[in-house]
Structure 1
């Protein structure tokens, strides 16, 4: 039974992350559509609203809920919680806070309010990547990881990721 519950947990983690990654891309495209002239603006925004609503309500939210159901179920079957899992749970809490921040952006964009520029959203999109790397490294490496090197590696990854976003912006603005 444990393997089935764990498999379901992993499946819903994957679909949740897929939703998170694509959701912010849609937010970016929707924000950029707001800057287009009519009638292109209205046509694009109507289509993006449909896509955003369906992705958020049919895939992303249910996946987050099922992840929250199956995760504690797997932990309950494990028994005592090792240190790496407690640290992982800290990142998972951060990921749910990130999810709730996307809920706020979702509500705004559904009302036609665009408080975040496409560049800010591109940077915000990478937060999910950082959580993904941290969580997967903790799950796979577990006790074999040096916490100092793990944090240094994560910090280095963040620097590389943010540098890539900045380089991409430079390339985009030159075109």
Structure 2
């Protein structure tokens, strides 16, 4: 019974962690776009986005990442045999990518809190898909528990990424057309 409670808590915090990652990058998009606004609108929006980013990052995203990781390690402690399975090795590689993605988001967060906008809103829209790709990979690995066909999964993820990029370019054209 303990295992099921820990698994449920792990899943809850993984979901809130991803929700935080999805929304923080969306706020980065808005922040970058606010830099293009005239004064005083720019200052008002940026101040509001910085506050929203701060609260999201430190009240939801970071605690969720820590708790999801804690419960994951606890699950591995309860079931160490998973560490001998190939699907878990692939999953852990994607989790490592997720930690790297989170770290990069933290770096961007810090820059934006200092008023440094080093990326465009287009960059952030593409960057936002990184978490989506990792989420797809991890969910399929956990549900299917099959790392033998991981090549098909990688091909699927790359195909999915290409579709997202095409959709993004199509959406960008529509937005630019509507601005005229």
Question: What range is the shorter-chain TM-score in?
Answer: over 0.9
Q: How far apart are residue 162 of structure 1 and its match?
A: 1.4
1:94 partnered with 2:100: no
1:161 partnered with 2:176: no
For 1:44-59, list aligned pairs within 5 A: 44-59=45-60
- Provide the TM-score with structure 2 as the length reference: 0.94
The aligned residue for residue 118 of structure 1 is: 121
* Residues 69-104 of structure 1: per-residue CA shift (max 9 Å, x gap): 111111111121211011100000000000000001
The aligned residue for residue 21 of structure 2 is: 20
Q: How far apart are residue 145 of structure 1 and its match?
A: 6.1
Q: Distance in 2 between matches of 1:79 and 1:24?
A: 34
Superposed CA RMSD in Å reads 1.1
* Residues 4-38 of structure 1: per-residue CA shift (max 9 Å, x gap): 00100000000000000000000110111111001
Distance of aligned partners of 1:144 and 1:38 in 2 relative to their CA distance in 1, 3 Å threshold = closer
For 1:125-144, list aligned pairs within 5 A: 125-143=128-146
Q: How far apart are residue 168 of structure 1 and its match?
A: 1.1
The aligned residue for residue 10 of structure 2 is: 9
Distance of aligned partners of 1:41 and 1:144 in 2 relative to their CA distance in 1, 3 Å threshold = closer
The aligned residue for residue 42 of structure 1 is: 43
Q: 5+ residue gaps in structure 2?
A: none
Q: 5+ residue gaps in structure 1?
A: none
* Residues 77-132 of structure 1: per-residue CA shift (max 9 Å, x gap): 11212110111000000000000000010010001100010000100010000000
Q: How far apart are residue 166 of structure 1 and its match?
A: 1.3
How many residue pairs end up in the alignment?
Answer: 175
Matched residue SS, 2:145: helix
Q: Distance in 2 between matches of 1:95 and 1:79?
A: 22
Distance of aligned partners of 1:32 and 1:144 in 2 relative to their CA distance in 1, 3 Å threshold = closer
